[in-house]
Amino acid sequence: MSANLSASFYLISGILFILALRGLSSPETSRQGNYFGIAGMAISIIVTFLSIGNFGPGFIYVLIFLLVGGSIGAFIAFRIPMTAMPELVAGFHSLVGLAAVFVAISAFLKPDAFNLGYVGNIKLASLIEMSLGAAIGAITFSGSVIAFLKLKGIMSGAPITFKGQHILNLILGLIILFLIYYLCSSQSSNIFWSLIIISFFVGVLLIIPIGGADMPVVISMLNSYSGWAAAGIGFTLENTALIITGALVGSSGAILSYIMCKGMNRSFFNVILGGWGATEQATGDERKEQKPVKNGNADDAAFLMKNASSVIIVPGYGMAVAQAQHALREMVDALKKNGVKVSYAIHPVAGRMPGHMNVLLAEANVPYDEVFELEEINNDFANCDVAYVIGANDVTNPVAKSDPQSPIYGMPVLDVEKSKSVLFVKRSLSPGYAGIDNDLFYRDNTLMLFADAKKMTEEIVKNL
Amino acid sequence: MEIDPFIFRLSIFILSIFVGYYVVWSVTPSLHTPLMSVTNAISSVIIVGAIIAALAGSTESVFETSSIFGFMAIILAAVNIFGGFLVTQRMLQMYKKKKK
């Protein structure tokens, strides 16, 4: 196949990928969008085979490896529980990163196969592109592995910080740039290997200081990195599909990181430089546990909700941990039978990744038109009889609106306290991730339900 | 003077960033998780590079150092492609409207 023809097909793949993302603008068109994506991928792979035109023994091996990887991927995709989606995405990012590193290594070892020049005399531009691709790929890989371990709970979600951390990162970043510069003049393979190793190291250092609840930002950021790595390799290979895709994924991840940061009213650098909960602990300790709380049980909760005309459910990460989404749906079904109007309110940073709560509710068969974003529903709390907070904490804290001293001041929060009564399902009075007390616990209209989210919800269902 | 082809690729890249910017802002927040899994799947189009690398071995031997890296990259990218698209599909199947 001629180079011009294959380039045109790669462009078509790129357009299909754009349509795949476009489809996600509404759930109805999203499934069709996914098929566009699959078609784009199939075209890219087939065109690559045709343009190489080598159907010898190597081709058979490529097919075998493709099938092996594909079967592993399919197996994971069908078996993974929806609650494990954040870990899965982090794991997948690490694979893209590592694949980018491998392709870059291969191009460095055998540049003639990619038309990039010869060993020891690789074109300057290609060398810069491939070393950038390799460095970003390596950072994506090791960073995603750490994110995966933290999300999976193998590694503690607490931020790991030490003195001089930021300076060390800065120095390593400068070393990477210096190595790329030196690589271009020397073409030395030792420099290339050191570049990759240092980049792996930087990936680890970047992610360890970031705490559990900041994971939505981290996952989005790594998503973005995997895109830039792909684009770097795309420039090396002069491949349009890869360049377009890299740019799409890179900007997608960047936008998601921005949305997540805005949801916490923090700057991107503030999140990346780590440790929010760790540094602000002192503020929470001053005024502790003197105020009385109202303690309720499932019976009270069932009574309140049965007699309400409208209920808003506020889910958070605790719902995911307790796997309470199915019980929650049953509760809502029972309430609807009693003629209660029920809707769900989702804060942008609820959960461990963008859209985490929406997927879990969809899994429990909650229709997506009953689920609302913060801006859409926040005014409705004032006219609502009961707000049922399950597994959320900081995102409901009214302090964010009233106390300029508070570390979360200015963060957009759900106006839960405006509803006539608040049912707050929580295991104890302990503060949330931000390390500050939630004022909501001590309000007159709040009834605390101390229990596991799933058990409490099941109890309520029995009492309805 | 002739224009370096690199400039054309850079133009495609920059325009694609703009396209990505507008397309991604129009994605509904409730589909942000599928957005991440699908972007992950499509970024695995890096498999194109992996295939070229894997098939670059000499005629005597399919497995050289450079092609072995290619084959490993094929496995990684294939896990992502199949895993990414299928898990996205699985998620999207769950998004249903209210039954009237």
pLDDT digits (tens, 9 = 90+) for A301-315: 899 898 899 999 999
Instruction: Choose, from A214, A394, A415, A437, the residue flagged as catalytic.
Output: A394
Residue B59: predicted pLDDT: 64
Residue A429: predicted pLDDT: 78
pLDDT > 50? residue A283: no
Give A100 or A155, the one with higher predicted confidence.
Answer: A100
Residue B51: predicted pLDDT: 93
Residue B99: predicted pLDDT: 60
Residue A230: predicted pLDDT: 93
Q: Are A21 and B27 in contact (CB under 8 A)?
A: yes
Q: Do A62 and B66 touch (CB under 8 A)?
A: no
Q: Do B16 and A105 touch (CB under 8 A)?
A: no
Amino acid at B56: A
Name the 3-class secondary structure at A384: coil
**A25 vs B27, B52, B81: nearest CB:** B27
Question: Which chain B residues touch A14 with a CB distance below 8 Å?
Answer: 16
The share of chain A scoring above pLDDT 90, in percent, equals: 53
User: Longest C-alpha distance within chain A, in Å?
Assistant: 79
Residue A277 φ/ψ, nearest 5 degrees: -55, -40
Residue A281: predicted pLDDT: 41
Q: What is the pTM of this model?
A: 0.90
pLDDT > 60? residue B80: yes
Provide Rg for chain B, Cα atoms.
Answer: 19
Q: Which residue has the tokens 């039978």?
A: A337
pLDDT digits (tens, 9 = 90+) for A323-338: 999 999 999 999 999 8
Residue A349: predicted pLDDT: 87
Which DSSP helix (H) or strand (E) runs through A314? strand A310-315
Band of the pLDDT at A342, cuts 50, 70, 90?
very high
Contact residues, B window 6-25, toward A, CB-based 8 Å cutoff: 6, 9, 12-14, 16-17, 19-21, 23-25
pLDDT, averaged across chain A: 88
Q: Do B35 and A95 touch (CB under 8 A)?
A: no
ipTM above 0.90, yes or no: yes
Q: Are A371 and A363 in contact (CB under 8 A)?
A: no
Band of the pLDDT at A274, cuts 50, 70, 90?
low
pLDDT, averaged across chain B: 90
Contact residues, A window 38-57, toward B, CB-based 8 Å cutoff: 38, 40-41, 44-45, 48-49, 52, 54, 56-57
The pairing of beta strand A121-122 with beta strand A117-118? antiparallel
Angle in degrees, CA B70, B71, B74, rounded to 5: 90
d(CA A342, CA A331): 10
Nearest CA in chain B to A241: B45
Residue A125: predicted pLDDT: 87
pLDDT > 70? residue A288: no
pLDDT digits (tens, 9 = 90+) for A19-61: 999 999 999 999 999 999 999 999 999 999 998 887 788 889 9
Which DSSP helix (H) or strand (E) runs through A105? helix A85-109
d(CA A421, CA A90): 38
Q: Do B32 and A358 touch (CB under 8 A)?
A: yes
